[in-house]
Chains A and B, each alone.
Chain A
Amino acid sequence: MSKIFAQGLVCPLDKNNVDTDQIIPKQFLTSVSREGFGQAMFFDWRYLADGRPNPDFVINKPEYSGASILLTRANFGCGSSREHAPWAIQQSGFNVIIAESFADIFFNNSVNNAMLLIQLSKTNIELLFNRCAQGPQHWQIDLQSQEIMFGNNAAMGFNIDADIKQRLLSGLDFIGSSEQLKPQIADYEQSRKASQPWLG
C-alpha cells in the first residue's frame, strides 16, 4: 500500500452548510442502483435552468476540471441521510474532502465508501483557501503520516480517528469485520430474549 492516499487537483467550494439536498437533489434519488450519480452532483448549482452548465459555478471552471480533492467550509453534508451524496461526489472523481466540520451521518456514509474526510480548524481552512486563491493547487495526502503535502516540502498535519485511519489503510470490509463477532451477537440475542421477552 502506497503511503500516499490521494493526490490531485483541489477544487475550492467556498460555502458553509452545504446540505445533501444541494449535493444531490431529490429527483435523482429514485434510482435503485449505486451508479450514475456523478453528473447529478450539485445539480441546481451546476446547471442553468435551460440545462447548460453554469459557467460561474466553481466545479464547472476549466481550471478545476479533473479535481479529486474538494475543499470546503463548515458543516458540510448536513441534512438528509442519503448516501447518494457521497456516491455523487465520489463518482465525480473526488475521494478526499477537506472541511472545517462535517455532519455526522454524511461523515459515516463517506467513510463507508472509503473516502477520506479531513477536518481542520477554521484558521487552517482559511490558509488552504488562501493557497487556492493563488492559482490551481495540486496536493498529496499522506494518510500514514497524516499530512497534506503542498510540494516544496510544505505540509499541514491533520487529525483522524485511529479506527477510521486503520479502516481506510487496510480497506477492511465494513460488514465482514463486524461478522467476526457473530458468536457475541447470538449470545446477546439470547440474553435479550430472556430479560426483555417483549422485544422478540
Chain B
Amino acid sequence: MAAISSARTLYQKIYTSHVVGKLNPSTDLLYVDRHLIHEVTSPQAFSGLKLARRSVRRPDLTFATMDHNVSTQRRSMDAAGETSRKQLEALAENCAENHIPLLDLTHPDQGIVHVIGPEQGLTQPGMIIVCGDSHTSTHGAFGALAFGIGTSEVEHVLATQTLPQQQAKTLKIEINGELSAHVTPKDVIMAVIGKLGTAGGNGYVAEFCGSAIRAMSMEGRMTLCNMSIEMGAKAGLIAPDDTTFSYIKGKAHAPKAEHWDSAVQYWQSLHSDIEAVFDQTVTLDASTITPQITWGTNPEQVMAVDQSVPAPDSFNDASKRDAAERALAYMGLAPGQKLTDCKVDVVFIGSCTNSRIEDLRAAATVVQGKQVAAGVRALVVPGSGMVKRQAEAEGLASIFKAAGFEWREPGCSMCLGMNDDRVAAGQRCASTSNRNFEGRQGRGARTHLVSPAMAAAAAIAGKFVNIAATGNVPGDQA
C-alpha cells in the first residue's frame, strides 16, 4: 500500500479507495463491491432498467433474497397473499433473467438480507455494500461501508455498479469499560440513540470504538451497527479485528485459501489512524449502561427499564415536549408510570437487529423450563435458515416450543408486518426489532423495543421485567 500523507479515518480510507472518478467538484462516483437486493425495493428498479434498455453490469456482485414479504408460517410463494406472491415472483423472474444468484424460499439458507450477507461471507471488511434497505448499516460491523439506498439508486447500481456520493462527516462513538452481566449490545445502541437523538447522526458516518466494542462478538457488533440508522447516521462502522477475521473464515463466499493471507493483510490496514480527526466525538462508559426500553414512538424515546415514563414537561425543547405528549397518547401511557407494571400482549423475538444465534441463546436462557404467561402471544422468528438449523441443533427451538412460543420460518415478520404477522390495535408488544414508529407493527400497535433477554422475560412474566433485577444471566455475550 502507498504511504499515506495525512491521518485518515476508517471511513475516509474506504471512501477514497472506491473513487472511480469525479462527477463534479463535490460528487464522486464510488464503486460498489456488493449489491444486496430483495423483493420490495427492487421490482421498479428492474422495470426502469428494462425500459431504458440497460443491463445488469455485474450480476456476479449482486445477491438476492426473499425476506420482507414472505410468510413465516410456511414456505410457499403465495402463503402471504396474492400481492406478495406477485412481488416474490417478480424477484425470481428478474434474477433468472439477469443471472443474479437468489436465495429463494426453497433455499435452506434463505433469510433476512442483513443476516445472510455475513453468514454467506458476502460481507467483508473494506467493501462498499449497498441494499435498498435502511438497515444495510448492519454490515458496517465488519468494517465495510454499508448503507441503505432507494429504488432509483438500486437501478443505478444495477446498471453501473457504482453510486454518486459526497463525503459524509465523521462521528466517533467511543465506548470503554465493561458491560454489566445483563446489558447487551441492544441496550448499548438504544442508550446511544437516547443520548444523540433520532437525527443526531444525520450527515455522519459513525465509527464505534473502545474496549467495550472490541469485547463484543460479531453478532453484538451487527446489532450495534444495525441500529445506527435509527440515529440518522448514514452508516455505522467498526474496524475489523481477529474476531472479524475468524467469523469470516470458511464462509461460502469468503476469500479462498490462496487469497486469505493477502486479504487479512489488507483488512488489518482498515482502521482509523491514531491522529485521525473526527468531526464529532461522543464517549460513553459501558459500566453505566443499564437495560433499556422504549416508551414512545421513536427510538430516542428510550429509558432504563427501572425508570418511570417521563412527563412531557420534563423536556426543555418544545418539539420534544410535543412529541412526548403525542407518543404517550398513542402508547396509552401516563407520566410516572413504570413499564414493569405494564401488561404485555405480544412478544416478538426476531428481525435483522436480534434474530441471530446469540440472540436466541440469550432468550432461551431466560425461557428455559418456564411457560409463556397466559394471554401472551409469543413468537420467535430466526433470521435465516442457518440460524434456525443451529438453534434446533442446540435445543433452543425445543426450549421455546415447550414454553409456548411459536417457532417460525425465517423472514422479517412482525418487524414491519408486511406479511400476516401483525400486532393488533391497542396491543402492547415487547419487540427485539429496531423501530417503534406508530403503526410499524400494525395499525395502532404499541411497540416497546427491548433486548432478546428482556423480551423473553416479558413473555414469561406477562409484563415488562427489569432483567438486571432477576437471577437470570442472558446467554454468553462473548
Whether A30 and B41, one on each chain, are in contact in the complex, defined by CB atoms closer than 8 angstroms, is no
Whether A198 and B202, one on each chain, are in contact in the complex, defined by CB atoms closer than 8 angstroms, is no
Whether A104 and B203, one on each chain, are in contact in the complex, defined by CB atoms closer than 8 angstroms, is yes
Q: Kindly list chain B residues whose C-beta atoms are within 8 Å of the C-beta of A198.
A: 124, 255-256, 259-260, 262-263
Whether A75 and B202, one on each chain, are in contact in the complex, defined by CB atoms closer than 8 angstroms, is yes
Q: Kindly list chain B residues whose C-beta atoms are within 8 Å of the C-beta of A73.
A: 319
Q: Which of B151-205 contact A (CB under 8 A)?
A: 151-153, 155-156, 159-162, 164, 166, 198-199, 202-203
Q: Kindly list chain A residues whose C-beta atoms are within 8 Å of the C-beta of B81.
A: 30
A199 to chain B, nearest CB (A): 6
Contact of B263 among A26, A74, A196 (CB under 8 A): A196
Within 8 Å of chain A (Cβ to Cβ): is B417? yes
Chain B interfacial residues counted at CB < 8 A: 77
Give A110's nearest chain B residue, CB to CB: B150
B166 to chain A, nearest CB (A): 8
Within 8 Å of chain A (Cβ to Cβ): is B435? yes
Q: Known interface pairs A32-B90, A44-B443, A74-B199. Does A188 touch B20 (Cβ–Cβ under 8 Å)? A: yes
Contact of A83 among B61, B152, B159, B259 (CB under 8 A): B152
Contact of B232 among A27, A104, A188 (CB under 8 A): A104
Within 8 Å of chain A (Cβ to Cβ): is B437? yes
Q: Kindly list chain A residues whose C-beta atoms are within 8 Å of the C-beta of B161.
A: 185, 189
Within 8 Å of chain B (Cβ to Cβ): is A81? yes
Within 8 Å of chain A (Cβ to Cβ): is B132? yes
Within 8 Å of chain B (Cβ to Cβ): is A16? yes
Interface string of B9-53 (1 = CB under 8 A from A): 000000000001101111101010100000011011001100010
Interface string of A76-92 (1 = CB under 8 A from B): 00111111001000000
Contact of B40 among A22, A82, A200 (CB under 8 A): A82
Within 8 Å of chain B (Cβ to Cβ): is A181? yes
Whether B60 and A16, one on each chain, are in contact in the complex, defined by CB atoms closer than 8 angstroms, is no
Q: Kindly list chain B residues whose C-beta atoms are within 8 Å of the C-beta of A166.
A: 24
Cα A129 to Cα B168 with chains together (Å): 31
Contact of A16 among B47, B57, B323 (CB under 8 A): B323
Within 8 Å of chain A (Cβ to Cβ): is B54? yes
Whether A81 and B134, one on each chain, are in contact in the complex, defined by CB atoms closer than 8 angstroms, is yes
Cα A199 to Cα B126 with chains together (Å): 11
Within 8 Å of chain B (Cβ to Cβ): is A140? no
Give A82's nearest chain B residue, CB to CB: B41
Q: Which of B200-250 contact A (CB under 8 A)?
A: 202-203, 232, 234
Known: A113-B152, A198-B260. 6 other contacts (CB 8 A): A22-B437, A33-B47, A86-B150, A175-B160, A179-B160, A181-B162
